[in-house]
Structure 1
Amino acid sequence: MRTYLDLLRVPSAARLLGGTLFGRLPNGMGALAVLLTVRADGAGYGLAGVLSAVYGLATAAGQPVLGRWMDRRGQTGVLIGSAVVSAAAYGVFAVVGVYPLPVAVVVVLIAGFTTPPLEAGLRALWPSVLTQERVQAAYALDAAAQEILFTVGPLIVVLVTQVASAQAAVWLTGLIGVAGTLVVATSAPSRRWRGEAHTPHWAGALRAPGLRVVLLAFTLAGTALGVLSVAAVAYADREGSDALAGVFLASMSFGGLLGGLAHGVVAWRSAPVARLSWFLLGLTVCYLPLVAVPGPWLMMPLAVLSGLFLAPAIACSFTMIDELAPQGTVTEAFAWLVAAIGAGSALGMAVAGWAGEVGGARGAFLAAGVGAGLGLLVFLVGRGRVISNVIHFEGITDPELSRNGTSAA
């Protein structure tokens, strides 16, 4: 833990990490707040699920767009502007509700699409705040801490809904986003930060072939996150206790926290590309015992085990993306990773619904292992492209392609 305490003593580090985590709580609150508001207005679960999915996909789509804008214009204006617009859309949805439906769809789209890209922005800031050795620990701490967000966020929504109303939870979601964004965007490192000078290209960060491999791998591996959200509910139904779904997801998050913190204190000698291969393998292997769907006393330790390799895999991907991103596109590249995991999670929820109907909880958990395994397969097949990270088009030389020069992956 000394590594992390030293990191947080660096000027602005604690403010940036704390503000980002607080400002990203809406990522774990928004979809559920939308769903509960739709249900509170008397609509069915079908419409509630559709609007929640619209919100999630809009959030994933907006991150790379806003990330590219930040690379070109700096962080402060983009972060504050997007947070205010998103909060305003949340407010309209809280007042209007689900009817008229076209208005609800539009404001949910806006609320999701304009979610401030705090996650990508923080990762772009770390190299300007910390030494290279501490950047790796920061990535690990960031990946570990975000496991808490997706446990605490839904709990806040449920608590506010019970104490006040679902509409109040929607209002709070927007306000938290603005508050956390202001903490980050008004800091000196964020105000000073500018993307590196570069020649704009229509494909942006996606013109790096190694980056595309990583993104596809994490889209597939990310399906497991959506699958497990649904599988946890199916397991709770099977065991006759609704509370087990929350306990399972909390146990999995705890495993991710442990794995992420452990990853950050190890002085790794192997290259990130080699580590990521092993982490994705560990992720796949640790999901498979869940298929046995044992009783709660054994299932919860298995849930902790299933989360151990997720945060290390994500932290490792941060390092690789930092190396693979073409010059001047680092924020956009990180935002694409956020989008890839988010899109994969949304796809996973749909797959889990089908798998759950066909094979029950056992089928849903199996889908998580298959998703992680496909991500591993894609990464292994494309590993050569990740290592070389060569883009062949006229007028660009290899050193220009990476913000840190030739990829060290």
Structure 2
Amino acid sequence: MKTYAELLRHPGVARLLFAQLVARFPGGMLSLGLLIHVEGIFHSYGIAGLVLASLSVGQAVSGPLTSRWMGAWAMRPVLILTGAVCAAALAVLAFAPLSVPGFMAVALVCGLSYPPIQPAVRTVYPKVVNSRQLTPLFSLDASAQEIIWVAGPVLVTFVATQVSSTAGILLSLLFLVGGGIWFVSSPELGRVRIPQSKRRFGVVLARPSVLLITIVGILLVGSFAAIEAGVVSMFGDGSPESGFVLAIFALASLAGGLAFGHLPVGPWALARRMSVILVGSVLAVFAFEFWTISGALLIAGLCVAPALAVMFAAVSATVRFSDTAEAYGWVGTGQLLGAALGSAVAGFLIDAAGSTGGFVTAAILAAVAVLIATVFRRAIPDLRGRDAGPIPDTEPVPVQPS
């Protein structure tokens, strides 16, 4: 804990960490709030699912693109523009009497304009701390984001059901605007300038580390989505036990990130941490009630934030600074695709075999992730005693003849 206390005392770190956390809070609220709102209007979960799919498609498409724009136009203009459009779209979703295609179109715009806060802050981190502190900072960031997934759904569900579904969406809007203003006003965003990348859009995916992390991210988040579907199926979507079990999963990740996230990163780090997640996922297949599933997910959760920390550090250390934002954008898109993949496959298996099908899906996805992380471990840089910061951009310096 001493390492994290030192980090938070470092100038600018606490402000950046908490500002981006508040700005990203809608990530844990918006889908559920929109689901409740649209279902309440049309009385159809199918229609609500179509609207959420439009939102997810927009986010998946925009992630790498808006992240790359920050190198061309600077971070603040991109964040302000996307935040303003996204806020306007959310207001329309909350108040306008739209048809189904109208809801889908506005949700798509909302997803396309979702501010690239996560790529921005992870691009700034290497410029505000020294190389020794970077991996623990990525771990602290990954641990802190679990607060979004624990508190966000609970908060928006309470407001949407006890006040109104419109109020639930407006609460997401409040976090988006308030947190966005706080984050954009951080002095570090003015001091850090992302050089414009000279490479074609998408070329950064050719880097083995970025491709590996994107693929493992798809599988990792897919396993989380399958676990969530399995838990809800086991206890029912109206049972408080589902929320308690998923909260234990998230809090275990928070605790694991704080306990293990500072450990040095080597080529085997991702495979080892994914192996712990695999063990917990396999144990969940054989769980049969609250305490057994809680114990299994406690084990799985312990290495979630540490695994994410390895992934962030690996991307940071292996790409040029001008490409880091786009690289994190692709990683984020992969995670969105993973959530869709895990939910879809788990849904079919749950229909066929009950809640066990969700946990089987999670175990299979985690196993494939372990296999890929093991076979391609050389793509993970050995950062033990090395700088985890991005590769500096260099340009030829003209020399006048003497």
Tell me if TM exceeds 0.5.
Answer: yes
Report what 1:150 is aligned to: 149
Report what 2:240 is aligned to: 243
1:93, distance to aligned residue in structure 2 (A):
0.8
How high is the sequence identity, in percent, across the aligned residues? 28
Q: Residue type of the partner of 2:182?
A: V
CA contact (8 A) 1:96 1:104 kept: no
Report what 2:352 is aligned to: 358
Q: Residue type of the partner of 1:244?
A: E
- Match for residue 257 of structure 2 among 260, 281, 292: 260
TM-score, normalised to structure 2, is: 0.91
Report what 1:287 is aligned to: 281
Alignment of 1:161-310 (within 5 A): 161-196=160-195, 198-237=197-236, 242-266=239-263, 268=264, 271=266, 273-310=267-304
CA contact (8 A) 2:83 2:115 kept: yes
List per-residue Cα deviations over 1:363-408 (Å, max 9, x = no partner): 11111011111122223333345569xxxxxxxxxxxxx6259xxx
Report what 2:341 is aligned to: 347
Quick one: distance in 2 between partners of 1:198 and 1:78?
16
1:225, distance to aligned residue in structure 2 (A):
1.5
Q: Which runs of 5+ in 2 are unaligned?
A: 383-389, 394-402
Q: Residue type of the partner of 1:225?
A: F
- Match for residue 315 of structure 1 among 309, 320, 328: 309
The 10-residue stretch of structure 1 (373-382 or 36-45) with the greater mean CA deviation from structure 2: 373-382
Report what 1:403 is aligned to: 391
Q: Residue type of the partner of 1:285?
A: V
Q: Residue type of the partner of 2:35?
A: L
Report what 2:385 is aligned to: none
1:348, distance to aligned residue in structure 2 (A):
0.7
Alignment pair present for 1:102 and 2:96: no
List per-residue Cα deviations over 1:186-237 (Å, max 9, x = no partner): 1111122211354232324223233112211221222112112211111113
Q: Residue type of the partner of 2:132?
A: E
TM-score, normalised to structure 1, is: 0.90
Q: Residue type of the partner of 2:252?
A: G
Quick one: distance in 2 between partners of 1:362 and 1:32?
24
CA contact (8 A) 2:221 2:338 kept: yes
Q: Residue type of the partner of 2:239?
A: D
Alpha-carbon spacing, 1:117–1:227, altered in 2? closer, same or farther (3 Å):
same
Quick one: distance in 1 between partners of 2:292 and 2:230?
16
Report what 1:17 is aligned to: 17
SS class of match (1:195): coil
The 10-residue stretch of structure 1 (356-365 or 379-388) with the greater mean CA deviation from structure 2: 379-388
List per-residue Cα deviations over 1:143-197 (Å, max 9, x = no partner): 1111111111111111111232111111221221111111111111112221135
Q: Residue type of the partner of 2:308?
A: I
CA contact (8 A) 1:323 1:404 kept: no
Alignment of 1:88-127 (within 5 A): 88-97=88-97, 99-127=98-126
Quick one: distance in 1 between partners of 2:375 and 2:74?
36
Alignment pair present for 1:374 and 2:374: no
The 10-residue stretch of structure 1 (209-218 or 116-125) with the greater mean CA deviation from structure 2: 209-218
Q: Residue type of the partner of 1:338?
A: G
Report what 1:337 is aligned to: 331
Quick one: distance in 2 between partners of 1:12 and 1:126?
10
Report what 1:31 is aligned to: 31
Q: Residue type of the partner of 2:391?
A: R
Quick one: distance in 2 between partners of 1:85 and 1:207?
32
RMSD (Å), alpha carbons = 1.9
Aligned residues: 386
The 10-residue stretch of structure 1 (73-82 or 314-323) with the greater mean CA deviation from structure 2: 73-82
SS class of match (2:235): helix
Alpha-carbon spacing, 1:384–1:333, altered in 2? closer, same or farther (3 Å):
same
